[in-house]
Amino acid sequence: MHGQEIAFDRDLQEIRLSIDPNAKAYFRFHKSSGLQDRGAVAGLSLSSEDPFQFSDPISAAPQAFYIVESVSLNDPLDSDSDGIDDVFELQLPDILNPLDAADARLDYDEDGEDNLTEYMAGTDLDNPDTTPPVLLEAPTQLLTEETDRIALTFSEAMLASSLSADSFQWIDSNLGEIALSEIIVSGRFIDLVLGEVLTDESSHQLTISGDLRDLPGNRLGAETRIDYQVAVTTRIKTVSPKHGETDVRLTRNVYLDFSHPIDPATITPESLKITAMGQTLPATQRCSDDETRVTLTLIEDLPLATAIRLTIEGDLIQDTEGEAVDADGDGIPGGRATIDFRTSGLTPIPGTAVEGHIFDATRSTDDTKVPIVGLTLRAEGLPEITAITNEEGFFRLEDVPAPDFNVQLDTSTVTSAPEGFAYAGPVEVPANSLFFEDGTPATEIRLFALDETRIPAPPAREHRDRSRVQCRCRRSHPVRRPLTDDLS
């Protein structure tokens, strides 16, 4: 074998064999009195990063022969014939000896199962836990969504090798038994992936075998049965602003996304209500083309530094099937949900200022910058803080809040637009938003002049059209607004 060295230690009167490591094998050392006999196994060793040394005392025999056998880790032998393979025993040197068959019948962790039984079951030999695992969580008996995945949570980490297709049985009242396509085990959590999507057209039953084991080898015990019914309800997926959100912009719209299309006729000021300080804030409601999103736009800006509440009356909102929307998320149609958020609070600070330039992105070049003259800038929520760009496109807003505030650009007052063109707007510059990717702060903004025939008439308040700048730069940065014939 490559990498063998044999040495004789006169002081200790022993033979030493040194073997280079092999990451794919372990070694068995045979000793015999003649070449005709391979001899008994005198020692075993797992490969390691360092050469392994095997030593054997010199006996009174006139001669001894040694054979080093390399055995694949993937196909280990059982040198002591105790039913436990060599590699497993070598990996637990404090518990097992690959040359001692008696250790297979010992119960190292004193949990009532001997080492061989735990080895065969794949459980821990050194864990004395005898408490059976418990099913802690499973989906409620009423599933509110069509799904092909069921998540289970147990009290202890489960033994993956104790799970099989027979461990779980899913019966559909119409389809019969549904096979599992996958079982995903992650400690205490087991995900059952079904071969079919569960629908609300039938009832279902899940049976969990009592043969499931935790890592120490304890069985689940009694068989568990759970009856399911799928009742798909239309629910609210997301709301923006989120519940508990703060520093909400005063001009921000409210958005609700639903899991299924809803009936636009049921979206009314009574079914969706925005209130502040006990007063209802008038807003318009608009459904998306696919009828899964509702946009609420305030007739007036939200009040400054105020707690705002959105109330959703699920009993008054219906989906396209005529069922009430599950507003409170309990799986039952109807109910009420409230979303609370708070608007930003702004206080002017004397002596502060924000200044910069605004240029025409269409006509400006790197060498020549064409200023936009007469553009009005206002601090959102503080209309008294106003500036108008001069002949150089320069503006300066004084006594502004700190550290952040939003700026609105009113393009209706611009006097420098080329003939036949206009600057679409208004434009909003959100607080702390004008950055380039390298973090350089902004001192210039560029706007595009658009053909007046392609710009729709000024929208009503309920359809406010505002482009947003998402950059900060010392260099100029264009504010792009889509060219469109219809923004409704």
What secondary structure does DSSP assign to 145-178, as a single string?
Answer: S-EEEEEEEESS-B-GGG--GGGEEEEETTTEEE
The pLDDT value recorded for residue 483 is 34
Q: Assess contact for 463 and 487: CB atoms under 8 A.
A: yes
If one compares 123 and 458, the residue with the highest pLDDT of the two is 123
3-class SS of residue 124: coil
Q: What is the DSSP letter of 91?
A: H
3-class SS of residue 55: strand
Q: What count of residues does the chain have?
A: 488
What phi, psi does 6 have (nearest 5°)? -120, 130
Q: Has residue 487 got a pLDDT over 50?
A: no
The residue to which tokens 């950059």 are assigned: 471
The pLDDT value recorded for residue 322 is 93
The pLDDT value recorded for residue 297 is 94
Q: Assess contact for 144 and 178: CB atoms under 8 A.
A: no
Please tell me the distance from the alpha carbon of residue 206 to that of residue 222, in angstroms, as a whole number: 14
Residue 117: enclosing H or E segment and its boundaries?
Answer: helix 115-121
Q: Has residue 155 got a pLDDT over 70?
A: yes
The residue to which tokens 């009356």 are assigned: 313
The pLDDT value recorded for residue 473 is 27
What phi, psi does 266 have (nearest 5°)? -90, 0
pLDDT digits (tens, 9 = 90+) for 389-398: 999 999 999 9
Q: Has residue 81 got a pLDDT over 80?
A: yes
Q: Assess contact for 444 and 474: CB atoms under 8 A.
A: yes
* Mean pLDDT rounded to a whole number for the chain: 81
Q: Which residues on adjacent β-strands are paired with residue 26?
A: 46, 71
The pLDDT value recorded for residue 488 is 30
If one compares 4 and 96, the residue with the highest pLDDT of the two is 96
Q: Which residues on adjacent β-strands are paired with residue 54?
A: 17
Q: Assess contact for 123 and 212: CB atoms under 8 A.
A: no
pLDDT digits (tens, 9 = 90+) for 98-145: 999 999 999 888 878 889 988 887 778 887 777 889 999 888 777 767
The pLDDT value recorded for residue 372 is 92
The pLDDT value recorded for residue 111 is 78
pLDDT digits (tens, 9 = 90+) for 174-223: 888 888 889 999 999 999 998 888 876 678 899 999 889 888 888 888 89
Please tell me the distance from the alpha carbon of residue 303 to that of residue 249, in angstroms, as a whole number: 10
Question: In this prediction, what percent of the chain has a pLDDT beyond 90?
Answer: 35
State pTM to two decimals: 0.45
Q: Radius of gyration of the chain from Cα atoms?
A: 38
Q: Assess contact for 262 and 291: CB atoms under 8 A.
A: yes
Q: Has residue 449 got a pLDDT over 50?
A: yes
β-pairing, 14-19 vs 4-9, is antiparallel
> Which of 27-31, 79-83, 190-194 has the weakest average pLDDT?
27-31
The pLDDT value recorded for residue 264 is 95
Q: Has residue 476 got a pLDDT over 60?
A: no
> CA dist 31 to 56, 61, 306, 363, Å?
9, 12, 88, 93
Average pLDDT over residues 224-249: 88
Bond from prior residue into 241 cis (ω within 30 degrees of 0): yes
Question: In this prediction, what percent of the chain has a pLDDT beyond 70?
Answer: 80
If one compares 419 and 133, the residue with the highest pLDDT of the two is 133
Angle at 197 between CA 196 and CA 203, to 5 degrees: 95
If one compares 427 and 21, the residue with the highest pLDDT of the two is 21
If one compares 117 and 476, the residue with the highest pLDDT of the two is 117
Q: Assess contact for 96 and 115: CB atoms under 8 A.
A: yes
Structure tokens at 471: 């950059």
Structure tokens at 157: 């980490």
Structure tokens at 184: 């995903």
The pLDDT value recorded for residue 467 is 34
Q: Has residue 52 got a pLDDT over 80?
A: no
The pLDDT value recorded for residue 434 is 63
Average pLDDT over residues 350-368: 86
What phi, psi does 293 have (nearest 5°)? -130, 135
If one compares 349 and 84, the residue with the highest pLDDT of the two is 84
Q: Has residue 90 got a pLDDT over 60?
A: yes
Average pLDDT over residues 16-41: 80
Please tell me the distance from the alpha carbon of residue 435 to that of residue 432, in angstroms, as a whole number: 8
The pLDDT value recorded for residue 8 is 58
Which domains are seen in the chain, by residue range?
4-105 (2.60.40), 135-230 (2.60.40.1220), 237-342 (2.60.40.1220), 353-479 (2.60.40.1120)
Question: To the nearest 5 percent, what fractions of the chain are helix, strand and coil?
Answer: 5, 40, 50
The pLDDT value recorded for residue 289 is 93
Q: Has residue 457 got a pLDDT over 80?
A: no
Q: Has residue 36 got a pLDDT over 80?
A: no
Angle at 271 between CA 267 and CA 275, to 5 degrees: 120
Q: Assess contact for 428 and 459: CB atoms under 8 A.
A: no
Q: Has residue 45 got a pLDDT over 50?
A: yes
Q: Assess contact for 36 and 64: CB atoms under 8 A.
A: no
Structure tokens at 298: 């305030």
Q: Assess contact for 242 and 284: CB atoms under 8 A.
A: no
Please tell me the distance from the alpha carbon of residue 162 to that of residue 213, in angstroms, as a whole number: 6
> CA dist 275 to 13, 251, 298, 306, Å?
94, 15, 11, 10
Q: Has residue 151 got a pLDDT over 50?
A: yes
3-class SS of residue 29: strand
Q: How far is CA 108 from the centre of its chain?
A: 41
The residue to which tokens 């958005």 are assigned: 255
Q: Assess contact for 154 and 163: CB atoms under 8 A.
A: no
